[in-house]
Structure 1
Amino acid sequence: MKSVELFTGAGGLAMGTAKAGFHHLALVERDKHSCYTIRENQQRSNNAASNWRLHQMDVADFDISTIGKEIDLLAGGPPCQPFSIGGRHGAHLDERDMFPQFFRAVRELRPKAFLIENVRGLLRQNFINYFEYIILQLTHPEVLLNDNESWIEHVARLERHHNGAVPDDLEYKVTYKLLNAADYGVPQKRERVFIVGFRSDLNINWSWTEPTHTEEALIWDKWVTGEYWERHSIPSSARPDCNPKLRARLQKTGASLLGSMTAPWRTVRDAISDLPNSHAASSIPNHIYIPGARSYPGHTGSPLDEPAKTLKAGVHGVPGGENMLALPSGEVRYFTVREAARLQTFPDDYYFPCTWGESMRQIGNAVPVNLAYIIASSIYNHLQFVTANKKIVNAV
């Protein structure tokens, strides 16, 4: 199935959708460092990025008519700074708001489906009206903003249109959800908003994939069966104590935990324990120790035996605390680029050629590959089912 991706970054979402079966006709990204990372990987013969068609330019300058084919999926993560809790909170007033460009792409490409990822700040109360506008414009992409019309006037008109009885030539069934990547096997507590739309004429009834991993199952593995520690060959004498509050919680919820059919949340240790000590020389690409880490209030690093805190790109450079490992000994150190890439579920053959800071920025901005794959696979399967049924009907 054919796809186009806007605001590609270093390729996390693109890799996940490609893994799900989508073939990228075009990837658009203006950041030269992210494009350099993708091109570097394209030169590696066994890398998934080898056949990606990359356009280094602003999405606003991309001529969508050059695609010239029916598109199954349009994907992308419009810049999150206008909505990020760590950003300027400008939303529609921020010149970096690129949602209008995504609306344009939906109108011109008429994809069967689209997939958008953005920060959880998009759901902040003071942005809620603009978020409603985003959903309505995605639902009715051909109800255009008029000259000299504000987005507030436009959303009122969209609401009237949405509640009317006149069908659109191009309309989408749109749904959104705040997902925690840890609930889907990513070793990182990372909450992001995902928006999915299917073209209404396809009559697809789609729902979000249920979580596959839970914190409760991890607690059970640690403090009831001990399987977590045994799996990592941690002797009883080196295991942390189960605190009284947690013990009380286990006693209260033990029955439900015992019946849980989900896998345990994956931890930092699960993700990186097979990598060599980062202090030692390593032949593994991107696995290089960076000195100088320190803990300070609000930046205490990610515990080894929990999913990592959200890796972030930072507004003014890389925030050290979110990219730091807190060891049981009380020591802290920076994650290597390879460790951070694993926390975002990039495969080990995906190489980050830039400096530590720039690579960590790209990784922090990325969509976890495995989460992108899970969502894109569900979209792919539903589109494939519709396509197969259409072929059967045409044959009859």
Structure 2
Amino acid sequence: MAASERDRQLEVVEICAGAGGQTLGLERAGFRHRIAVELDENAARTLCRNLQDVLGYSEEEAKKAVAVGDVADPETWNPAEYKGVDLLAGGVPCPPFSIAGKQLGANDERDLFAWAIELCGDIQPKALLLENVRGLSANRFTAYRQHVLDRLHEYGYIGDWKLLHANEFGVSQLRPRFVLVALKREYAEYFDWPTPHEEEPPTVGELLADLMAGNGWEKDQVDAWVKQASDIAPTIVGGSKKHGGADLGPTRAKRAWADLGVDAMGVANDAPKKGWRAPEGVPGPKLTTAMVARIQGWHDFEPPVGVSPSTGGEFRWKFHGRKTSIYRQIGNAFPPPVAKALGVAIRKAIHQEGERRTLVENTDRVLDPVYKLLRGLDRPLTVDQIIEKLAKQGTVLEQPEVERRLNHLSHDFALTMTTRSNGAIAYSLGEFKAFIGQDDHQRHDLFTQLRAKIS
């Protein structure tokens, strides 16, 4: 690669950008945002403000770089203007795949994963980065993931999935994220997943000691709390507009917080004052949004090049909106340190740095053999025929496993069942149910009806 090309600052288009967790990480990895698209107005205002205050954009550049609205609505932005951008990135909505939800996948009006794959095919970036919840890695979605990899292969990309844990990249939180990275073949040969840090992240107590003491709480009380908060945090749950307010998660998470001496039943406006003592039955103080942001990895002692740090060497990402909105923005974000690690790895691949490796065609890996078999045929097969054909290909599946996979397929694909004269049911695979931009898809009506509750 020519030196001039290597010196050029890489550009990114980010969809479903939220309040900027991934934005900050990618900027620190050396990417500049051509545009960031976000549905929530408060999050978009947060993003626009911090592009200026933290990342050094001019007011005009920041306004141009943030688009507010439905990312799939052509009136919000024009993807055709960004063809050939270096990176397409985003954290598309999690509820379609969340274990805490109904896992509706392609039938959820918030599902934009398949649409993002088609967007990648349209604008042809050098690389694609999409992150989501751990639930997408479950067996329930093997065919969905297989479809994604196959589709990317058709568009000229080598894609791969990996489950990354935020605590392995310096974040004081158990936060698994399922990440898809895909690159054009000439860059994929240079991509390696980022290496986890050797050192452990600080405990919640170590991380938040100064913030807990910031409103006058006595030193002996703070020290006792720090000693109890001797582990990293459970996953911060931002929730959605459909459910819940600003609290720290479901029952199991609340118990984990209680073990750390944290009251997870809400979020405080301020740190404890002098003389504060936990009421009977309450495990300790509530966290403030500033504390939650720090646990999410938003604190940063290493500003981007050219940006002056604020007093004390730390700059702060400022959030727009009321407490519940701010908490949701923080809790739904991709931790900046993880985004930075991925951004650095992708940047190196685009610059073709490091050792070139022999590619294993990741798209040839069979995640769901039943899906692959039915997708390649134009006639229906019974369960017995599926078992027989897979066995000839070297894959041994028993009847219950085949039936389970067929059941999963029926959620995300049109699965036609035909009863034969002997009573056996034969299956054929139809179209993918997910929204990929169709004008007549049910997503449009559902999105309009539920617009105020979608986040």
Give yes or no for contact 1:59–1:101 (8 Å, CA) kept in 2. no
| Cα distance, 1:357–1:383 mapped onto 2, change above 3 Å | same
Correspondence for 1:274: 210
Instruction: Work out the CA distance in 1 between the residues paired with 2:100 and 2:56.
Output: 32
SS of the residue 1:27 aligns to: strand
User: Is residue 20–residue 373 contact of structure 1 (8 Å, CA) maintained in 2?
Assistant: yes
Spell out the pairing of 1:81-230 with structure 2 (5 A cutoff).
81-140=95-154, 170-202=155-187, 204-212=189-197
In the alignment, the residues of structure 2 paired with residue 177 and residue 332 of structure 1 have an alpha-carbon distance, to the nearest angstrom, of: 36
User: 2:319 matched to which residue of 1?
Assistant: 352
How big is the shift at 1:135?
A: 2.4
Q: CA deviation at 1:36?
A: 2.1
Q: Is the deviation greater in 49-58 or in 176-185?
A: 49-58
Unaligned runs of 5+ in 1: 141-169, 213-261, 282-302, 390-396
- Give the structure 2 partner of residue 320 of structure 1: 247
State the Cα deviation string for residues 98-154 of structure 1 (Å, max 9, x = none): 1232122211211111111100010122222212222222332xxxxxxxxxxxxxx
Rounded to whole Å, the distance in 1 between the matches of 2:290 and 2:246 is 17
Whichever of the two has the greater Rg, that structure is 2
Q: Distance in 1 between matches of 2:44 and 2:93?
A: 16
CA distance in 2, matches of 1:382, 1:365: 28
1:60 partnered with 2:72: yes
Equivalence for 1:3: 12
CA–CA distance in 2 between the matches of 1:38 and 1:49? 11
Contact 1:182 1:266 in 2 (8 A): no
> Is the Cα contact below 8 Å between 2:297 and 2:336 reproduced in 1?
yes
**Distance (whole Å) between structure 2 residues aligned to residue 360 and residue 106 of structure 1:** 31
> Which among 34, 39, 42 is matched to residue 33 of structure 1?
42
What amino acid maps onto 1:337 in structure 2? T
SS at match of 2:141: helix
Q: Residues 260-297 of structure 1, C-alpha deviation per residue, up to 9 Å, x if partnerless?
A: xx21232212322222526549xxxxxxxxxxxxxxxx
Residue 49 of structure 1: CA displacement? 6.3
Residue correspondences, number: 289
Q: C-alpha deviations, 1:336-382, integer Å up to 9, x for none?
A: 11111111111342011222211111111100001100111111112
Cα–Cα, structure 1 residues 331 and 339, in superposed 2: closer, same or farther, change >3 Å?
same
Q: Which amino acid aligns with 2:69?
A: M
CA RMSD of aligned residues (A): 2.7
Q: 1:362 to 1:49 in 2, by over 3 A?
A: farther
Deviations 1:184-209 (CA, angstroms, capped at 9, x unpaired): 11111101101111102445232212
Of 365, 379, 389, the residue aligned with 2:332 is: 365
- Name the CA shift for 1:130/1:351 in 2 (closer, same or farther; >3 Å): same
Aligned partners of 1:64 and 1:109 also within 8 Å: no
Structure 1: how far apart are the matches of 2:152 and 2:83?
21
What is the alpha-carbon distance in structure 2 between the residues aligned to residue 68 and residue 179 of structure 1?
29
Residue 3 (structure 1) shift: 1.0
2:72 is paired with a residue whose SS is helix
Helix, strand or coil: the match of 1:10? coil
Counterpart of 2:141, as a letter, is F
The superposition leaves residues 57-97 of structure 1 with CA deviations (integer Å, 9 ceiling, x where unpaired) of: 21111444452453111100111110011222110111111
Contact 2:188 2:349 in 1 (8 A): no
Alignment of 1:341 with 2:293, yes or no, is yes
Q: TM-score, length-normalised on structure 1?
A: 0.67
Residues 175, 235 of structure 2: 8 Å contact kept: yes
Judged with a 3 Å threshold, the aligned counterparts in structure 2 of structure 1 residues 180 and 338 are, in CA distance, closer, same or farther, namely same
Residue in 2 that maps onto 1:246: none
- Normalising by structure 2, we get a TM-score of 0.59
Give the 3 Å change call, closer, same or farther, for CA 32–86 of structure 1 in structure 2: same
How far apart are residue 386 of structure 1 and its match?
6.1
- Separation in 1, partners of 2:206, 2:169: 14
- Which has the higher mean CA deviation after the structures are superposed, 376-385 or 20-29? 376-385
